[in-house]
Structure 1
Amino acid sequence: MVEDILRELQARSTSFRGLKANVRFAMEDDAVVRVDARETPVAIRREEDVSKNGAAEDADCTIRISAENLKKLMDGRLNPMLAFTMGKLKVDGSMGVAMKLAQLLDE
């Protein structure tokens, strides 16, 4: 499922240009997908082992969510605010970046 999410995010990469931030999606089994919209073109890649190289520190925002719920979020079947209030989505870092990302995913 993580590979499906990665492909879908890459297909939407142009919509992330206005984000101008570095966001990590941290999922179960230490799967991490990074969207770096500070680069042109937007870089979207999977990180294999961020715990050893400390890559989490340079993210503006880390979204902790299960792969299943992230897929639902991207498909429009899960409201980001509802997911946050129900604890299905946790935000570390900039809440402003997270809110802007939610708007972009909703388009």
Structure 2
Amino acid sequence: MSDVINAAVTALNEKLGSFDEGTAKFVIEDEGSIMVDGEGARAGDDEAEVTLTASRETFEGMLNGDVNPTTAFMTGKLKVDGNMGLAMKLGSALA
């Protein structure tokens, strides 16, 4: 598992805790995938209700507050596949 994924898992667990709204997958391009659900965040590539895909830079920006998830989506830097309502809840939790 890459250092980027490890750091992202730690940051997501601090920011989100457990996410009881459903299952989500974050795909960080060229790094790997992170699953988020009621048990918290962990490295993984399981099926999810929504998949959010972004570059490392965009993802790190969303985690540290420099990048607004909605703006990233509207400008094409964040791709969403699946349950848009769940994606919006995640975006609000990250903002």
Shorter-chain TM-score: which interval? 0.7 to 0.9
Taking every aligned residue pair, what percent have the same amino acid on both sides? 33
CA distance in 1: counterparts of 2:94 and 2:37, whole angstroms: 15
TM-score for the superposition, normalised by structure 1: 0.76
Task: Report the Cα offset of residue 30 of structure 1.
Answer: 5.5
Which residue number in structure 2 is paired with residue 46 of structure 1? Answer: 43
How high is the TM-score relative to the length of structure 2? 0.85
Deviation at 1:74, TM superposition (A): 1.4
Q: What RMSD in Å do the two structures reach over aligned CA positions? A: 1.6
Aligned to 2:25: 24
Larger Rg belongs to: 1
* 1:6 corresponds to: 9
Structure 2: unaligned runs, 5 residues or longer: none
Task: Answer whether contact 2:58 2:77 (CA < 8 A) is retained.
Answer: yes
How many residues were matched structurally?
Answer: 92
Which runs of at least 4 in structure 1 moved beyond 6 Å after TM superposition? none
Gaps of 5+ in 1: none
Larger helix fraction of residues: 1
